Amino acid sequence: MDWKKDCAALIPCFNEARGVGEVVRTVREHLPSVLVVDDGSTDATAAAARAAHAEVVRHAVNRGKGASLRVGFQHLHDGGFKWALTLDGDGQHAADDIPGFFSCAEATGAQLVIGNRMAQADRMPWLRRRVNRWMTRRLSRRAGVLLPDSQCGFRLVNLEALAGVPLQTDHFEIESELLLAFLRAGMQVEFVPVQTIYHSGASKIHPVVDTWRWLRWWFTRRRH
More confident residue, 78 or 126: 78
* Residue 158 CB-density burial (10 A; 0-12 exposed, 13-18 middle, 19+ buried): buried
Q: Give 10-69 pLDDT, tens digit per residue.
A: 999 999 999 999 999 999 999 999 999 999 999 999 999 999 999 999 999 999 999 999
- Do 20 and 32 touch, CB atoms closer than 8 A? no
pLDDT for position 182: 95
Whether residue 170 has pLDDT greater than 80 = yes
Q: Given CATH 3.90.550.10, say whether it is the number of domain 3-222.
A: yes
Specify which residues 189 forms β-bridges with.
Answer: 112
Phi, psi of 85 (to 5 degrees): -105, 110
Q: Is the pLDDT of residue 203 over 60?
A: no
Domain ranges of the chain: 3-222
Q: Quick one: pLDDT at residue 212?
A: 61
Q: How far apart are CA 208 and CA 15, in angstroms?
A: 20
